[in-house]
Amino acid sequence: MPRASGNISYKGKKMAKNVNVSVSLKDVRDDEYRLIKRFMKKVKKERILEDYLSRRFHEKPSQKRRREKARKIRNAQKAEQKRNTKLDIK
């Protein structure tokens, strides 16, 4: 049975991480497009690509903290907006 799997490993200066992501055709009822879509969704959820791209170049700790803080604020605003639409608050 064909399977789509990715074994992505990368090494930073302080940390090494191995990640396995796999999806089988049986999971997606023999639809190749769904297989690719599900695989990409799992890769995004595990933040594999984001981690790889962030480790390509050195990032100062202050820039990293600033970026993470902005991400947390965006996520909080998005969650609040979702809650407000669910409760029908303007």
Predicted confidence at residue 12, as pLDDT, reads: 47
pLDDT digits (tens, 9 = 90+) for 46-73: 888 888 888 899 999 999 999 999 999 9
Separation between Cα atoms, residue 28 and residue 1, nearest integer Å: 12
Predicted confidence at residue 3, as pLDDT, reads: 57
Residues pairing with 66 in the sheet:
none
Q: Match 């799992």 to its residue by tokens.
A: 42
Q: What is the mean pLDDT of residues 10-31?
A: 73
Predicted confidence at residue 78, as pLDDT, reads: 96
Cα–Cα–Cα angle for 20, 24, 17, nearest 5°?
A: 5
Distance of CA 88 to the CA centre of its chain: 30
Contact 22, 4 (CB under 8 A): yes
